[in-house]
Amino acid sequence: MKRLIPLLLILCLLAACTSNPASPADSSDPSNEPSPSPTPLRTVDLSGITFSEGIQLDQLGYRPGDPKKAVLPENTTDFQIVRTSDGVVLFEENTSDPAYSEASDELVRIADFTVLSEPGEYVLVAGDSRSYPFLIGDNPYGGLRKATLDFLHTQKCGVDLDAGLWSHPACHTGIAVVLDKDGEETGEEKDVSGGWHDAGDYGRYIVPAAQTVAQLLLGYELAQNPDPDVLDAVWFELEWMLKMQDEASGGVYHKVSCKGFNALNQMPDKETGQLVLTPISATATADFAAAMALASRFYPEVKDLLLDAASRAWQWCLDNPNVPGFTNPRGVRTGEYGDGNSNDERFWAACELFAATGDETIHTYIKNADLSTGLGWVNMGTYGLAAYLLHAGDKADAGLTQKMKDLLISEAKGILNRSKYDPYGISLGIKYSWGSNMAVSNNAMTLLLAGLFDDDEQYRETALEHMHYLVGKNALNKCYISGFGHDPMMNPHHRPSVAVGQAVPGMVAGGPNIGNTGGDNTLGNYREGLPPMKCYIDDKESFASNEIAIYWNSSVYFVLAVLGL
């Protein structure tokens, strides 16, 4: 032992003299070229070091060439990255100066260990505390991406579902009756079976369905290694959406559900109330037109059918320029997805239809439309920008193309800028509202889209930080995806999970919410006095922070697919 000490000393000194004690890795180069193994600095006994919630990092891990950062408590000065198998310290560095996180109302410090690229399982140690173990390796997320997609299988409606613990006989197979805007039955009936249950409830709503379809298909299209399963998965939803179109007018019913929500512990087949179809809406019809036109480039064998459905929906939009936004008819209490402004949905539809058909009348519509951004179900402008920029081809108008690029890039630069001022490296500021996790992944999606038109590695790196936030690098040290990480969401507001007593894996929680609770008193009481990033409770009753939804999953799926995680 005595002879070892001078040797270790020399090694330590050597390490201290170089700015890069671990193997040098160019953080801007994701190619993961093999680099020399880092020099072991010394060994620590991990058994005396306890886990601390205050050391927040990606609970799954990092790829060798990617940036690697953790958030640490203010009272830390330096940190070590220690291999779990043998306690060898492979990297050591000082923490940053303190930084104030407005979202968590705390002073924190950053630990940057980007230069460590040696594959292995590690913990970050600061003082006598450590992080959860995490991986450095080529595939640190393992089956996460697949799980976020497979979750949609368990949301299937109208079929005998073979889904392990969450299997059930066919649900919601009855005929739906059509309601008018006052909630009176019109006398019409329609079979609209199929599709995915929207969220923790069993409603099926066109507006969020269109977002989900778009994100999954774009994730498929823009991934370097697309998952072939995406096309089959999405087709299930498209078939249902097609049934939601009114043959006569081309308009699309906003949603189908029972009048209210059923008990939280009921499997889908136990919800047997009358299904009601709410009136046709402009947002649903425009979203439908957009989703069908977009889908037409992925399913060549049914291209004409999809484009015909899209065109009829578009014609309805042209025939109904001023219809008011959707609100639930009297007596209907399920998800509203109300949105008084259908201009962005119409713009998206026009861009998809133009991309698919090259129709110059539609081009004129686009040229006269207001440009806007957004990837959530309320504001959908960015889907339109993406369609035009990626698929208008040589029919594109040069001036308009430039305007669209400028808008997308300026949106992304805003996200980059906000992320720079946030110690967690994300872009919400203090705006954590219902579905904040989708806001996180949608901002990552905006960054990745902008990166297609502006060559700057920061887009990808900041998108990665957003992903790290979702799986542990956040003020609650929570992994917001069920079944993954060391402290995953366990008690989602999701009926099949509650009924079975176990969360379906791969679901993304809504996340912290300091805004409207919609009457969720579990969250309302819990969050009193808490800062925005901590307004989350892993409780099945908290629908305003701990529900799950197909379009939150699709948003995260896009990010995972495009980042190749």
Contact positions toward ligand 9MR, by CB under 6 A? 198-201, 203, 335-336, 434-435, 510, 518, 543, 547, 549
Least Å distance between CB 256 and ligand 9MR? Answer: 13
Q: Which is nearer to ligand 9MR, 212 or 474 (CB)?
A: 212
Nearest in space to 356 (alpha carbons), one of 324, 396, 392, 386:
392
Query: Rg of the Cα trace of the chain?
Result: 25
Cα 342 versus chain centre, distance: 23
d(CA 447, CA 431): 18
Q: Which is nearer to ligand 9MR, 10 or 263 (CB)?
A: 263
Half-sphere exposure in the Cβ direction for 105 (13 Å, CA): 7
Select from ligand 9MR, Zn ion, none the partner in contact with residue 172, using the beta carbon and a kind-dependent cut-off of 5 to 8 Å.
Answer: Zn ion
Report the largest interatomic distance among the alpha carbons of the chain, rounded to a whole angstrom.
Answer: 92
Cα 427–Cα 222–Cα 212 angle in degrees, nearest 5: 65
Residue where the block lists tokens 């078939």? 239
Q: Report yes or no: 434 and 516 within 8 Å, Cβ to Cβ.
A: yes
Least Å distance between CB 335 and ligand 9MR? Answer: 3
Q: Please provide residue 433's backbone torsions phi and psi, each rounded to the nearest 5 degrees.
A: -120, 180
Please give the full DSSP string across 313-346, using - where no structure is assigned: HHHHHHH-TTPPPP-PPTT--S-----S--HHHH
Element holding 82 (H helix, E strand):
strand 78-83
Q: Which is nearer to ligand 9MR, 387 or 445 (CB)?
A: 445
Least Å distance between CB 447 and ligand 9MR? Answer: 21
Least Å distance between CB 201 and Zn ion? Answer: 10
Least Å distance between CB 378 and ligand 9MR? Answer: 7
Least Å distance between CB 521 and ligand 9MR? Answer: 15
Q: Which is nearer to ligand 9MR, 198 or 461 (CB)?
A: 198
Residue where the block lists tokens 């998206």? 348
* Contacts to Zn ion by CB under 5 A: 157, 171-172, 268
SS3 of residue 393 by DSSP: helix
Least Å distance between CB 326 and ligand 9MR? Answer: 12
Q: Which is nearer to ligand 9MR, 216 or 351 (CB)?
A: 216
Select from ligand 9MR, Zn ion, none the partner in contact with residue 434, using the beta carbon and a kind-dependent cut-off of 5 to 8 Å.
Answer: ligand 9MR
Select from Zn ion, ligand 9MR, none the partner in contact with residue 171, using the beta carbon and a kind-dependent cut-off of 5 to 8 Å.
Answer: Zn ion
SS3 of residue 437 by DSSP: helix
78, β-bridge pairs: 94
Nearest in space to 132 (alpha carbons), one of 488, 422, 441, 465:
488
Select from Zn ion, ligand 9MR, none the partner in contact with residue 488, using the beta carbon and a kind-dependent cut-off of 5 to 8 Å.
Answer: none
Select from Zn ion, ligand 9MR, none the partner in contact with residue 268, using the beta carbon and a kind-dependent cut-off of 5 to 8 Å.
Answer: Zn ion
d(CA 309, CA 242): 7
Cα 102 versus chain centre, distance: 23
Select from Zn ion, ligand 9MR, none the partner in contact with residue 435, using the beta carbon and a kind-dependent cut-off of 5 to 8 Å.
Answer: ligand 9MR
Least Å distance between CB 493 and Zn ion? Answer: 17
Least Å distance between CB 105 and ligand 9MR? Answer: 24
Q: Which is nearer to ligand 9MR, 550 or 565 (CB)?
A: 550
> In angstroms, how far is the first alpha carbon of the chain from the final one?
43
SS3 of residue 167 by DSSP: coil
Select from ligand 9MR, Zn ion, none the partner in contact with residue 64, using the beta carbon and a kind-dependent cut-off of 5 to 8 Å.
Answer: none
Instruction: Give the residue at shortest CB distance from ligand 9MR.
Output: 335
Q: Which is nearer to ligand 9MR, 106 or 547 (CB)?
A: 547
Q: Which is nearer to ligand 9MR, 230 or 549 (CB)?
A: 549
Both tokens of 79, joined, read: 């940190």
Q: Which is nearer to ligand 9MR, 139 or 327 (CB)?
A: 327
Select from Zn ion, ligand 9MR, none the partner in contact with residue 287, using the beta carbon and a kind-dependent cut-off of 5 to 8 Å.
Answer: none
Select from ligand 9MR, Zn ion, none the partner in contact with residue 38, using the beta carbon and a kind-dependent cut-off of 5 to 8 Å.
Answer: none
Cα 543–Cα 545–Cα 546 angle in degrees, nearest 5: 65
